[in-house]
Structure 1
Amino acid sequence: MEDSIGVPRRFTGQLLDAAVRYAEERHWDVVPGSWLETGASGVPRCSCGSAGCGAPGAHPIRPDWTARGSVSAPAVRRMWQTHPESSVLLPTGRTFDAVDVSEDAGCLALARMERMDLPLGPVLGAPGRRLLFFVLPGAAAKVPDLLRRLGRPPESLDLSVLGEGGWVVAPPTRTVPGGCAQWARRPTPANRWLPDAAELLSQLAYACGREAAAARAR
């Protein structure tokens, strides 16, 4: 069976189940976001109705969204009652920040960090071929200075941090036609305690620097 916009009910149930798990198991605030609808042409479009939407199916739908996040399972279930197809958004700057790099740089950094047995939290594969490394809150304020100390001017790297006022799109949200947000490293009991951004930044900056050098050489 499908709902009125062609989304299988099985999938909308998965969205709610995931949202509840994030709230209950990780104590992450959860917020419902926009979703993809199938138009008359059969092409998915964002529920917000904007033809030029920059994040189809992957952004907040209410101006007061920052005040609506909850870690209460009953509250999460109520939020998804009206639109069970809503994307699952996790606000940043509360229980975690997220260091955002390209997928290529992130995969290189991740492989190096795993070989070095560095502490790692969850790592999210996000829209636009990005990897997001979950770290302790407060990273957004200190990462630019940490990069300068490493000799890596922040403006020279494709690296940013999502902190207060930002959000990430959590699996199994559909973000583009045929795609879903995915975990590169799933949340598990073993990575419940997040690393400080400083513990990962050297490897992330190195990988982003390699990517920037390769781009200049082309």
Structure 2
Amino acid sequence: MVVEETRTRTPAVTTQRRIPGQRTAPPAASPLEHALRYTRERAWDVFPGTWLETVHGAPRCTCADPACPAPGAHPARPRWTDETTGSATTARHLWTTAPRAAVLLPTGRAFDALEVSETAGCLALARLERMAAPLGPVTSSPDARMTFFVLPGAAATVPHTLRRLGWSPAGLDLRTKGEGDWVAAPPTRLGARGPVQWAREPNAANRWLPGADDLVPTLAYACTREAVDRTLAADGT
């Protein structure tokens, strides 16, 4: 695959970067309110995860693992699929029991997810918007990752699509999430780094999700571009 030659560097990003068009959730919106909104407005299944507790002045995940890689933002138990629900009534009960629990969404049901770095995601999002490409909701997380929601089935087809386009799936920082996986949704907080936010909020205009093929070429290009820019920076070019 020939990568478009450019000397334009993709700016470095930090976990505090604001994504263009990104909106923060209303301060009063609780995890329960978000979970109810997802079930009622999008017909998405939801389930509660862990949450953060303050221990000796520092946030700590309720899983009690001091080395937890995603504090306050992962399933609370191995059999988390038993708690997934599309019922607003059941969701209300679950978050009434654990009001600070993370709001997690199972993939492989209403949608699959394509995850890239924030640098690649910002580049891809800008290009897709310029092309007026179909876009679904997109999240931005404080660990500098962006997640694009697409139609179910993407996890199984994306590797083949990438190879058909000339890319090696193993050589790209493009992750797919499908059946048996999950994503964290706003207002879930990732440790002390802050909350997951919507870069593109769910709304009436993006109720119908794009297929993976609509996004993969641009996402793959953006991932390659980021890798090239990183190499140039390391070489001092």
In the superposition, the TM-score normalised over structure 1's length comes to 0.92
One-letter code aligned to 1:37:
E
2:188 is matched with which residue: 149, 152, 173? Answer: 173
Aligned to 1:30: 46
CA shift digits 1:78-137 (9 cap, x unpaired): 111221110100011110001000000000000000000000000011241100000000
Q: Is 1:139 matched up with 2:167? A: no
Q: How far is the alpha carbon of 1:178 from its aligned partner?
A: 4.9
Q: Residue 176 of structure 2 is aligned with which of 157, 161, 178?
A: 161
CA distance in structure 1 between the partners assigned to 2:184 and 2:145 by the alignment: 11
How far apart are the structure 2 equivalents of 1:141 and 1:25?
A: 27
Q: Which residue of 1 aligns with 2:79?
A: 64
Q: Structure 1 residues 61, 214: closer, same or farther in 2, change over 3 A?
A: same
> What secondary structure, in the 3-state scheme, does the structure 1 residue paired with 2:132 have?
coil
State the 1:215 CA deviation: 2.3
Could you tell me the percent identity over the aligned residues? Answer: 58
The answer for the alignment partner of 1:39 in structure 2 is 55
| Unaligned 5+ runs, structure 2 | 1-25
Name the structure 1 match of 2:137: 122
2 CA distance for matches of 1:37 and 1:212?
37
Which is bigger in relative contact order (C-alpha 8 A, separation at least 6)?
2
CA separation in 2, counterparts of 1:13 and 1:128? 22
CA RMSD of aligned residues (A): 1.4
Deviates more, 1:12-21 or 1:42-51: 12-21
User: In 1, are the aligned partners of 2:112 and 2:177 still within 8 Å (CA)?
Assistant: yes
The answer for the alignment partner of 1:208 in structure 2 is 223
Give ranges in structure 1 of 5+ residues lacking alignment: 1-9
Task: Report the CA distance between 1:213 and its aligned residue.
Answer: 1.4
Q: What is the TM-score when the length of structure 2 is the normalising length?
A: 0.85
Aligned equivalent of 2:8: none
1: CA distance between counterparts of 2:190 and 2:79?
Answer: 22
Count of matched residue pairs = 208
